[in-house]
């Protein structure tokens, strides 16, 4: 990002330019924010031949004729020269004039009311070497883009004014092609008819012929490219630093201590949900966070003991449903008929059986936004109504919250879940000691998942450090390590370790925490091996009798995991050798394609692949040639090609 800033400033510093520059980026991606917070101030702090630069910013959004642009430039320029106005702005830290104030100042000048009685300084008015023009929202103007660019070219080519154009070229291209489409289609059809093209037999569809004719007759895109080539010297692609901008968005909530604390603690969730939306529209994110402020305030006011996990899920849901509805990814009625969380979960289950669009969409929505985020309650009707209709329905809000309180009541939760899902200070002093003892007992019994034990140890370390509990840290560590061993006997592999441990937002003790983490990683690695061994047994047992099931499961579950590492090589050979010749070829091609796409991911299985090749080679050695043996030989050769990808450094000769 700093390279982009410096490149733009280099253009401003240049002694002589007869071209403009363009900043291109998607709608809502923060281009205007980038101008205001990264570029404008730096330009206005520069000087040329003793003169300070002045920026004149104009949004072209809604502009319906070129005269309106001239008026905007005049208003901006005359206001910049008003000494009293500049003095007031400097004293009050005002960097731009509000649109409302511009209207008032314009009318004051029209009626002869002056701010300081000074006559117009024509020398300053005619000066062009200290001004930088910025035209924003080019694609949103209601004037022909070609005309606007021709108008701007006057400043650039004749007056050599530094000029920056901000736009979304993707939308601009769509606009050029789709303007007056009905009229263009009518004329194109008329011309094709006159030329006898409509009745001519051809393989090209009629729609495509009409489209080609429109592009030939009304080729505005080429006109745009020609004038752009003349006017624009450089086009910079704006790739926003989303984390930086999102941090700036959160700053607007600094006046609300409880809200900003919650948002800061869950910045990773905000960023993650934003990325999962598949858009780059920060404008929608701003609206979503504004909506969440209302939700956060209402929940804290009416239900102050709502646990932290529920609030996190509300945050995800508010952002997710805002993007789904406002980014035009889905029609609003997708969620209308879902009345509560129970129905939402029922749809997720039924979507495995019935694949209608509504059920499929809800399943995709859940997989996208709640992937690696476990939450029992993750659909909030009152939030859906609020985002969709802008009405905060108090009746639905209370109904939802009563269900949540009754089903996710913190007082009914086990002690360890209370520590992990709500702020510890919400537990009363009378309850706290009992909760701690209950957690220790659960850890000893091995009834808590290993990753949860790690998080709990972080809390215990913090409590000991703050003097909230009187335990020796080494003794507690021993209890937690033993409990982790017990839990591993029945636990499952944790895939999203990083996200799970990011939920721990308290300070932890160094050495002991490192030992607990290391022990957890060892256990989790063993659980992964166990999981993959079970998966390997489940999938490879389909060879050779149920090959369709094998292909389906392997393609869905094993393409990017080193599954061959977890299955006995000799059993694998027996199964493959018993398969049909056609299946041997199919498996060979599948493995070749897999190795190209997921070379790094499947590297750990190469030792077994090497052994499998050797077993096949030993089997076919000296035997009379048959089709089966030829297929196995080709299979072995393909395994050799796969092994060659990893070179000798990955495959030591000594076993």
| Pairwise pLDDT comparison (113 vs 19), residue with the higher score | 19
Closest CA to 249 of 268, 237, 263: 263
So what's the pLDDT on residue 331? 58
Whole-Å CA distances, 86 to 79, 97, 108: 8, 10, 17
Q: Give the pairing type, strands 232-237 and 51-52.
A: unpaired
The correct answer on CATH 3.90.660 for the domain covering 2-175 is no
Give the single-character DSSP code of 195: T
Q: What is the pLDDT of residues 228-278, one digit of tens each?
A: 888 888 888 887 666 767 777 888 898 999 999 999 999 989 989 998 988
Report whether pLDDT(198) > 80. no
Are 19 and 156 in contact by the 8 Å Cβ rule? The answer is yes
Distance, CA of 472 to CA of 433 (rounded, Å): 16
Task: Spell out the domain ranges in the chain.
Answer: 2-175, 242-411, 415-529, 542-650
Distance, CA of 105 to CA of 72 (rounded, Å): 12
Q: Give the pairing type, strands 47-48 and 51-52.
A: antiparallel
pLDDT band at 87 (very low <50, low <70, confident <90, very high): low
Report whether pLDDT(143) > 50. yes
H helix runs in 422-509, sequence order: 429-445, 450-466, 473-488, 497-502
Q: What is the pLDDT of residues 576-595, one digit of tens each?
A: 999 999 999 999 999 999 99
> Which strand (E) or helix (H) includes residue 77?
helix 66-80
Q: What is the pLDDT of residues 501-557, one digit of tens each?
A: 765 544 455 788 889 999 999 999 999 999 999 999 999 999 999 999 999 999 989
So what's the pLDDT on residue 62? 84
So what's the pLDDT on residue 471? 92
Q: What is the pLDDT of residues 276-314, one digit of tens each?
A: 988 778 889 999 999 999 999 999 999 988 888 999 999
Give buried/exposed letters for 493-524 (b at 16+ CB in 10 A, else e).
Answer: bbeebeebeebbeeebbeebbeebbebbeebb
- The DSSP secondary structure of 87-136, one letter per residue, reads HHHHHTT--S--HHHHHHHHHHHHTT--SS-PPP-HHHHH--TTEEEEEE
User: Which range is least confidently modeled, 195-209, 360-374, 483-497, 507-521?
Assistant: 195-209
H helix runs in 154-201, sequence order: 169-178, 181-194
How much is the mean pLDDT over the chain? 81
So what's the pLDDT on residue 652? 52
Q: What is the pLDDT of residues 375-409, one digit of tens each?
A: 878 899 999 999 999 999 999 999 999 888 877 65
What is the model's pTM?
A: 0.46
Closest CA to 392 of 497, 483, 297: 297
| Pairwise pLDDT comparison (408 vs 564), residue with the higher score | 564
Q: What's the distance, CA 81 to chain centroid?
A: 44
Report whether pLDDT(189) > 90. no
Report whether pLDDT(218) > 60. no
CA neighbours closer than 13 Å in the CB half-sphere of residue 404: 28
So what's the pLDDT on residue 122? 41
For a pLDDT cut of 90, what percent of the chain falls above it?
A: 37
Distance, CA of 453 to CA of 476 (rounded, Å): 11
């Amino acid at each position: 990002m700093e390279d982009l800033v410096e490149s733009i400033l280099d253009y401003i510093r240049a002694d002589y330019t007869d071209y403009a520059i363009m900043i291109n980026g998607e709608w809502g991606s923060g281009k205007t924010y980038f101008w205001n917070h990264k570029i404008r101030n730096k330009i206005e702090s520069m000087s040329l031949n003793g003169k300070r630069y002045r920026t004149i910013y104009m949004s072209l959004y809604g502009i319906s004729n070129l005269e309106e642009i001239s008026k905007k430039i005049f208003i901006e320029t005359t206001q910049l020269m008003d000494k009293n106005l500049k003095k007031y702005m400097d004293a009050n830290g005002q960097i731009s004039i509000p649109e409302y104030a511009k209207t008032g100042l314009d009318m004051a000048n029209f009626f002869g009311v002056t701010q300081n009685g000074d006559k117009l300084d024509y020398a300053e008015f005619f000066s062009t070497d200290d001004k930088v023009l910025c035209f924003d929202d080019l694609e949103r103007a209601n004037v022909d883009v070609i005309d606007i660019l021709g108008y701007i070219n006057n400043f650039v080519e004749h007056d050599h004014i530094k000029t920056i154009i901000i736009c979304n070229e993707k939308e601009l291209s769509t606009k050029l092609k789709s303007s007056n489409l009905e009229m263009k289609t009518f004329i194109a059809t008329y011309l094709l008819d006159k030329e006898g093209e409509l009745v001519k037999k051809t393989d090209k569809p009629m729609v495509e012929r009409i489209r080609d004719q429109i592009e030939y007759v009304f080729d505005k895109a080429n006109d745009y490219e020609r004038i752009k080539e003349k006017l624009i010297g450089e086009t910079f692609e704006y790739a926003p630093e989303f984390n930086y901008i999102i941090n700036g968005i959160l700053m607007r909530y600094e006046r609300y201590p409880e809200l900003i604390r919650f948002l800061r603690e869950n910045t990773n969730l905000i960023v993650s949900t934003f990325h999962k939306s598949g858009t780059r529209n920060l404008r929608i994110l701003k609206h979503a966070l504004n909506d969440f402020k209302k939700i956060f305030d209402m929940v804290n006011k009416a239900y102050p003991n709502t646990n932290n996990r529920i609030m996190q899920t509300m945050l995800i849901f508010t952002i997710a449903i805002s993007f789904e509805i406002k980014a035009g990814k889905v029609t609003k009625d997708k969620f209308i008929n879902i009345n509560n969380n129970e129905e939402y979960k029922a749809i997720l289950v039924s979507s495995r059986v019935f694949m209608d669009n509504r059920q499929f969409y809800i399943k995709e929505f859940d997989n996208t936004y709640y992937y690696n985020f476990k939450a029992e309650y993750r659909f909030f009707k009152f939030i859906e109504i609020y985002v969709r209709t802008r009405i905060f329905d108090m009746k639905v809000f209370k109904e939802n919250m009563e269900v949540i309180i009754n089903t996710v009541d913190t007082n009914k939760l086990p002690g360890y879940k209370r520590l992990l899902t709500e702020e510890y200070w919400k537990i009363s002093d009378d309850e706290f000691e009992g909760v701690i003892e209950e957690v220790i007992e659960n850890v000893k019994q091995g009834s808590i998942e290993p990753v949860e034990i790690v998080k709990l140890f972080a809390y215990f370390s913090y409590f000991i450090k703050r003097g909230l509990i009187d335990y020796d840290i080494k003794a507690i560590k021993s209890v937690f390590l033993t409990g982790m061993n017990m839990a591993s006997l029945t636990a499952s592999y944790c895939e999203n370790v990083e996200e799970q441990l990011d939920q721990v937002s308290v300070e932890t003790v160094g050495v002991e925490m490192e030992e607990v983490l290391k022990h957890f990683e060892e256990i989790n690695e063993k659980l992964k091996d166990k999981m993959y061994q079970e998966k390997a047994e489940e999938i490879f047992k389909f060879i050779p009798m149920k090959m369709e099931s094998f292909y389906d499961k392997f393609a869905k579950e094993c393409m990017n995991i080193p599954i061959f590492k977890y299955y006995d090589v000799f059993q694998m050979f027996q199964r493959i050798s018993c398969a049909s010749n056609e299946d041997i070829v199919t498996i060979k091609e599948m493995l070749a394609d897999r190795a190209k796409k997921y070379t790094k991911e499947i590297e750990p299985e190469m030792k077994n692949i090497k052994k499998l090749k050797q077993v096949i080679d030993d089997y076919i050695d000296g035997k009379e040639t048959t089709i089966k043996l030829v297929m196995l030989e080709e299979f072995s050769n393909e395994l050799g090609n796969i092994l060659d990808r990893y070179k000798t450094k990955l495959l030591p000769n000594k076993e």
